[in-house]
Amino acid sequence: MEILSGVYQDMTTGAPITLFIRNRDADSRPYEILRRLFRPGHADYTYFKKYGHFDFRGGGRYSARETAARVAAGVVAGKILEPLGIKVMAYTIELGGIRATSIDLDFVEKSSLFCPDPKATEKMEEVLSRAKKEGDSIGGIAEVRVTGCPAGLGEPVFDKLDADLAKAVMSVGTVKGVEIGAGFEAARFKGSENNDPMTPEGFGSNRAGGILGGISNGDEITLRAAMKPIPSINQEQNTVDREGQPSKLTFGGRHDIASIPRIIPVLEAMVRIVLADHYLRTKATT
């Protein structure tokens, strides 16, 4: 990576920080087939419909490669959050149907799948390996926790902190669902159970996920994102060509079996970017 602008003598200058990553490890040959066919589950079709003309090499603009830029930007955002004591951590809580049942945050870095549960990690590795053999792929769920976030970040009505987090996380290609705090489970609870009691020591529970009315409440911010299985699989699939004629596709490009664990730092980056933005906004106006 090359820093093209915005940093001088190890300090930012106020100019835009341009982080430049040349992709030197690209092999566009498998993508040649996209001249004719669409890959199911990919954006080949929608880009073709929207733009007519598109750069399909390596998946182009909708390739998961673009998340490298998110991670790089997240590091810059992290530099804003660090002196404030705001820490963001993401990990795998579910993969291929296996759910982590214990949360040992110290284990996350040791787990090959960034999973806080040693036993679940083993089972996940098995499921992953089985999917690989079958030429298939699997999905999963990641959880993000933010500690040290002060109360007061987030704007009323439209630019709520949870709304911006949801957008940022959903903008990652593989994500199909986002929930804050108790999330979808909150729909099954009663108000008397779901309200976090307020005590002199702080909130008695954290079903809100650290956000009330779109504004951080000083408690830990928690959210979860659901990732679909990677659409590239080593199996023959039914598809159509650009003229709408039926065809069979077996796609040989390089691809992972699951977006986990690679998505973990991407989610951390997106959350950091949103928090840094809201911190600067709050700094300006309160």
Instruction: Looking at residues 218 to 257 of the shown chain, list those that interact with a second copy (rule: CB under 8 A).
Output: 218, 226-233, 235, 237-240, 244-246
Q: Report DSSP letters for 31-84, one per residue.
A: GGGGGTBPPTTSSHHHHHHHHSS---GGGGGGSGGGHHHHHHHHHHHHHHHGGG
Q: Which long-range contacts (CB under 8 A, 24 or more apart) does 279-283 make?
A: 279/80, 279/81, 279/84, 279/86, 279/153, 280/80, 281/155, 282/152, 282/153
Least CB distance to a second copy at residue 91 (A): 15
Least CB distance to a second copy at residue 19 (A): 12
Q: Which of 131, 125, 96 is nearest to 232 (CA)?
A: 131
- List the x/- string, 138-157, binding to a second copy by CB under 8 A: xxxx---------xx-x-xx
- Shorter beta-carbon distance to a second copy: residue 76 or 106: 76
155 Cα distance to chain centroid:
22
Least CB distance to a second copy at residue 61 (A): 5
For 134, other C-beta atoms within 10 Å of its C-beta total 13
The vertex-51 CA angle with 47 and 53, nearest 5°, equals 95
Contact positions with a second copy (CB under 8 A) in 105-134 = 131, 134
Q: Report helix, strand or coil for 12.
A: strand
- Shorter beta-carbon distance to a second copy: residue 81 or 138: 138
Q: Which among 27-35, 102-110, 111-119, 190-198 is the span making contact with a second copy, rule CB under 8 A?
A: 190-198
Q: Report helix, strand or coil for 186.
A: helix
- Shorter beta-carbon distance to a second copy: residue 10 or 106: 10
209, 222, 271, 272: which one binds a second copy (CB under 8 A)? 209
- List the x/- string, 11-50, binding to a second copy by CB under 8 A: x-xxx----x-----------------x-xxxx-xxx-xx
- Shorter beta-carbon distance to a second copy: residue 117 or 164: 164
Q: How far apart are CA 173 and CA 228, in angstroms?
A: 9
Q: Which structure tokens are listed for 261?
A: 């664990």
Least CB distance to a second copy at residue 106 (A): 25
Least CB distance to a second copy at residue 221 (A): 12
Phi, psi for 45 (deg, rounded to 5)? -70, -45
72, 75, 76, 163: which one binds a second copy (CB under 8 A)? 163
Cβ atoms of residues 78 and 240 within 8 Å: no
3, 28, 32, 51: which one binds a second copy (CB under 8 A)? 51
Q: How far apart are CA 250 and CA 37, in angstroms?
A: 10
- Shorter beta-carbon distance to a second copy: residue 88 or 161: 161
Contact positions with a second copy (CB under 8 A) in 57-86 = 60-62, 66
- Shorter beta-carbon distance to a second copy: residue 110 or 134: 134
